[in-house]
Structure 1
Amino acid sequence: MTAEQLTQVMSTLSVQDSEQLEELIGCARYGELEEIQTLVKSSEPEKAKVLLSHQDEYGKTPLHMAAANGHLDVVEYLITVISPGAVNTQNEQGNTALHWAAMNGHTQVVETLITKGKADHKIKNVAGHTALIEAQIHEREKVVAWMLINTELDEDPKENNDDDDDSESSSSDSDIPNPVSS
């Protein structure tokens, strides 16, 4: 679907479509895969793709909610039916589905988003944090370990990238969760 076609379909979204989007977001939040599949099948294919890629007033998509809540089956399904690139949609705080999965410790969802969904792990939210940094901040050691092993690292996970402080970062090794006890 071209950008022009996507814009044309989006301009025809009705109040009923907005209600359907809210229903899709709710189903994704609670892991109701069969309900999502039924809703998708009841729509025209292009309209379903637009609805699944569309954001609510807070910038959330069904993929955000499924990833945040660790619903791997829903995430796997959604990445096969959403518009290309929609896996990297950012909400109003700049978080992608990958950020939410990482900060909530859903390692399999993180892996699926990156390997199957081609999620960009380098996207930063409004706080300047990538999904890896969010996982580190929230002490999600398994997610941090998986991302360090399986993604290209262009950042120091010891730094939280906080721009609030003009002074030099004084991160120490104790800031990183250490899976090996001494």
Structure 2
Amino acid sequence: MKKIFGFGKKKKGLPSPSKSASLPVGSGGYGLRERDLGKLHRAAATGDLGKLQQLLRKQDSNQLDKENRTPLHLACANGHLDIVSYLIENKCKLNLCDNDSRSPLMKAVQCQQEKCATLLLEHGADPNVVDVNCNTALHFAACIPNISLAIELLEHDADIDAQNKDGHTPLTLAITENHQGMVEFLLQKGADVHAVDKSKRTPLMVAASGGELSLIKILLEHGADLSHKDVSGCTAEDYAHLGGYSGLGKQLSEYARWKTVEKPSPGNKKGMSVFSSPDRFGDLGYALGAPATDKEAGIDSLLFLTGSEKFQ
């Protein structure tokens, strides 16, 4: 997806950022050459427990290599649980960071070494350490995506709304990567649907810019605000248009109108949402189930539940 990070079209006053430098990408594994590693780090990276035990009789378990990696970093990145366990038993420091300010826990998450990550968390590793781009371990889990790792992190007090240097939360990054399951999970766990980045863009704007209908529905079901404006005064509707999804932009506009209009009725003193009046759909000139006409296929019509205010 990633439409939010580079628009093809510009609107006067609208920030047009390049792809976010703070987005955690890549497999996360260290590109290792044996000749660049000392004996202790080599043993940790290759999973040679016997050699590691021998070396630790005289060497420090927190020894740093030229990239400021500890043996624990390398063991976690490569999933050597027995090495990780032994280093922890020998009181190694859990939160030392490498040259990218990433802790062993972050490397375990980034490389999807779940058992290593769980063991670190159980022994007190900090899930809220931030790297050079202010990403936390949960940002990495959201981007992969890996819900089981996200569960472990949240159970050990990871900040669900932590912001990286661009102001992106794990929820925003999950939307950027179009990981619907992770988006639903984070929202169910209480992630802030109204979180804004450095340019005051919301998760809904990110989804709208990429034409991600399923994500838009989920966000609106969780109360996303269509009227919110970014630093340039643009709404989610504007982001849909700028992303090339004019049909979606029109649908968002209609949805916003329907949400704000109430129709009094004898049995409803507070008024009834226009969602309860199917006839109004025709009045608004909107054809439910019409084929997509946007620049990319798959943008189907938004379907409304009669008598409710959410998509299905």
Q: What range describes the TM-score normalised by the shorter chain of this pair?
A: 0.7 to 0.9
- Within the candidate set 148, 151, 157, 2:203 is matched to 157
> Which stretch of structure 1 is more off in the superposition, 20-29 or 62-71?
20-29
Task: Tell me whether 1:18 sits opposite 2:64 in the alignment.
Answer: yes
List aligned pairs for 1:1-182, cutoff 5 A. 17-19=63-65, 21-41=69-89, 43=90, 45=91, 48=92, 51-83=93-125, 86-115=126-155, 117-153=156-192, 154-155=194-195, 156-160=202-206, 166-172=231-237
Residue identity (%): 21
Do the aligned partners of residues 166 and 75 (structure 1) sit closer, same or farther apart at CA in structure 2, a change above 3 Å counting?
A: same
Q: Who is 2:286 aligned against?
A: none
Q: Are the equivalent residues in 1 in contact too, given 2:63–2:71 (CA < 8 A)?
A: no
Structure 1 residues 39-76: Cα deviation after superposition (integer angstroms, max 9, x where no partner): 222x2x3xx2xx21111121011110111122221111
Q: Deviations over 1:143-162 (max 9, x none)?
A: 111001122425242135xx
Ranges in structure 2 where 5+ consecutive residues have no aligned partner: 1-59, 196-201, 207-229, 241-247, 250-298, 304-312
Is there any run of 5+ residues in structure 1 with no aligned partner, and where?
A: 1-13
Instruction: Tell me, yes or no, if the aligned pair for 1:71 and 1:109 is still in contact at 8 Å.
Output: no
Distance 1:169 1:17 in 2: 51
Whole-angstrom CA distance in 2 between matches of 1:59 and 1:16: 15
* CA shift in 2, pair 1:130/1:152, >3 Å: closer
- Which whole-Å CA distance do the structure 2 matches of 1:150 and 1:62 have between them? 25
SS of residue paired to 2:133:
coil
Deviations 1:58-101 (A, max 9, x none): 10111101111222211111111135xx2100000000001011
**Higher Cα Rg, which structure:** 2
Aligned residue pairs: how many? 154
1:22, CA displacement in angstroms?
Answer: 2.8
Distance 1:27 1:16, change over 3 A: closer
Structure 1 residue 17, shift from structure 2 partner: 2.1
After superposition, the CA RMSD in angstroms is 2.9
Q: Which has the higher contact order (CA 8 A, sep 6+)?
A: 1
Q: Give the structure-1-normalised TM-score.
A: 0.73
- Partner amino acid for 2:140? W
Q: What's the TM-score, normalizing by structure 2? A: 0.44
- Runs of 4+ in structure 1 over 4 Å off: 172-175
